[in-house]
């Protein structure tokens, strides 16, 4: 199974000074044989995902997480 990250640029966020900040929001991570199966699995776990108009997906190369 391959792992994927799903994200969107819909909506907005404020920075610490309460100013609008352009960014992306992570919607979740999911596994599947391909991106379509992973997206179907994500929708089963997160019913609210239907409110987003544009959802992007990227396959993850490995499970390492780096903190900066």
Report whether pLDDT(28) > 90. Answer: yes
Q: Give me the long-range contacts of 40-48 (CB less than 8 A, separation at least 24).
A: 42/6
- pLDDT-derived band at 12 (thresholds 50, 70, 90) equals confident
pLDDT-above-90 percentage for the chain: 66
Q: What is the pTM of this model?
A: 0.82
Tokens of 35: 């991106």
**According to the model, what pLDDT value does residue 2 have?**
95
Bridge-based pairing state of the strands 2-8 and 13-14:
unpaired
Task: Please state which of the ranges 1-5, 23-27, 29-33 shows the lowest mean pLDDT.
Answer: 23-27
Report whether pLDDT(31) > 90. Answer: yes
């Amino acid at each position: 199974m391959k792992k994927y990250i799903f994200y969107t640029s819909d909506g907005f966020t404020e920075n610490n000074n309460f100013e609008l900040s352009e960014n992306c929001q992570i919607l979740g991570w999911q596994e599947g044989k391909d991106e379509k199966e992973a997206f179907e699995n994500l929708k089963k776990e997160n019913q609210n995902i239907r409110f987003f108009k544009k959802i992007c997906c990227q396959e993850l190369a490995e499970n390492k997480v780096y903190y900066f």
